[in-house]
Structure 1
């Protein structure tokens, strides 16, 4: 049976947070701190090949991709007879690799189907469209398809929370989780400062990522006899 206590608790928290944002205007309240109504400008502007773009957008995505390839290499190398020490981390390596591959993919599928506008699209922040949440019906006269919910960019960073299951010691687990959350939130906040995502987009991505990671861990531990 895949569902366990941790998965169930995470799912309940995810649903609770989802409805909290759906029935309140917390997103508008928080996002308003990043938008100047006088100048009609966001806190940051996305400039390609700029330092901020390199650090928080294109650069970090490339690093995560390279890291994923490296993890896959270590996992495959662990099957060599000489890789005795690495064999101890084989399950953790598989969990990390699957998480970094699956989490962004699932988040991407959701983004393509939810049809939720970004903050910069909203009339509240100088856009041309009404403020629409995940459960709201899109007006028929609006033909544009939006792909803003949940936060896809930050999903790669939050997928790294799977590193928690790569280590045995509590210290290393906490360190790995802290680093992953720092990366995920730095990516998420960057997009919020640009007006590309609301707070709920990033929080839902974080919780959904953790839920998926727990499921992947459960499946690997049960069905992958390493």
Structure 2
């Protein structure tokens, strides 16, 4: 007999409506925070040395090892393990959750390729040559190489939110705890990049927004398509 914890399940329409409302409200808040880039420049300026026109933590080996490489590699390895284990044990729920780890980061990566926003360390005010501009503002001449919005590195941490769908049916409190863990990891990994001058804080907030939107939409579509049981 198939263990129910291995099976996909459908969530009620109310869940998706609540998530979309929350995402809409968060989008309004994030847009308001980025209206004049004040918060971004406040947080980034703390880690910028005006005397040397550089970010002292940009090449810090410990920060690079722990935050930029090790944490990301551990999360990727965890996602790969879940996918492999799910395939071997024939657990469709675990397979989909493992896929959500990567799909959230993929959506952010696609957005980055179309972005004209340059990273802080490339901007004029931080010793670079590129011109900054507010989110949704007109792209100025000299905006630089771009490809720095949303925050790609933070998206790996936010990907852990996918564990929510693994546990929600049987253990909802654990599911929400996993979601909170993903948010914490994404913010921590993203702030490490703020310290290095690689991203503004708002880049990371929007990364988390896109990751969760992707995970909710993909899980809803796949579970609706594959699962014939009544919604729970």
**One fold, TM greater than 0.5?**
yes
Contact 1:96 1:166 in 2 (8 A): yes
The Cα of 1:143 is off from its aligned counterpart by 7.5
Q: Residues of 2 paired with 1:76 and 1:107: CA distance?
A: 26
What TM-score, normalized by structure 2, do the two folds share? 0.81
Q: Which digits, 9 at most, give the CA deviation of each residue in 1:6-59, with x for residues without a partner?
A: 342133124313421342222222222222323433251224xx3322211122
The Cα of 1:192 is off from its aligned counterpart by 0.4
Tell me the secondary structure at the aligned position of residue 180 of structure 1.
helix
Q: 1:111 maps to which residue?
A: 112
Q: 2:31 maps to which residue?
A: 19
Q: 2:6 maps to which residue?
A: none
Contact 1:154 1:188 in 2 (8 A): yes
Q: Which digits, 9 at most, give the CA deviation of each residue in 1:177-218, with x for residues without a partner?
A: 233223212210110001111111011111111111111221
Q: 1:184 maps to which residue?
A: 186
Q: 2:62 maps to which residue?
A: 51
Distance 1:156 1:123, change over 3 A: same
Tell me the secondary structure at the aligned position of residue 114 of structure 1.
coil
Contact 2:100 2:159 in 1 (8 A): yes
Contact 2:150 2:204 in 1 (8 A): yes
Contact 1:95 1:162 in 2 (8 A): no
Structure 2 residue 20 is matched with structure 1 residue 8: yes
Q: Residues of 2 paired with 1:132 and 1:19: CA distance?
A: 13
Q: 1:37 maps to which residue?
A: 50
Contact 1:17 1:204 in 2 (8 A): no
Contact 2:187 2:205 in 1 (8 A): no
Structure 2 unaligned blocks of 5 or more: 1-11
Q: 2:79 maps to which residue?
A: 68
Structure 1 unaligned blocks of 5 or more: 80-86
Q: Residues of 2 paired with 1:158 and 1:191: CA distance?
A: 14
Distance 1:120 1:156, change over 3 A: same
Q: What is the 5 A alignment of 1:1-226? A: 4-24=16-36, 25-47=38-60, 50-79=61-90, 87=91, 90-91=92-93, 93-140=94-141, 142=142, 144-167=144-167, 168-225=170-227
Q: Residues of 2 paired with 1:144 and 1:26: CA distance?
A: 22
Distance 1:57 1:96, change over 3 A: same
What TM-score, normalized by structure 1, do the two folds share? 0.83
Q: Residues of 1 paired with 2:54 and 2:122: CA distance?
A: 13
Contact 2:83 2:99 in 1 (8 A): no
Comparing 155-164 with 8-17, which one deviates more in the overlay?
8-17
Tell me the secondary structure at the aligned position of residue 198 of structure 2.
coil
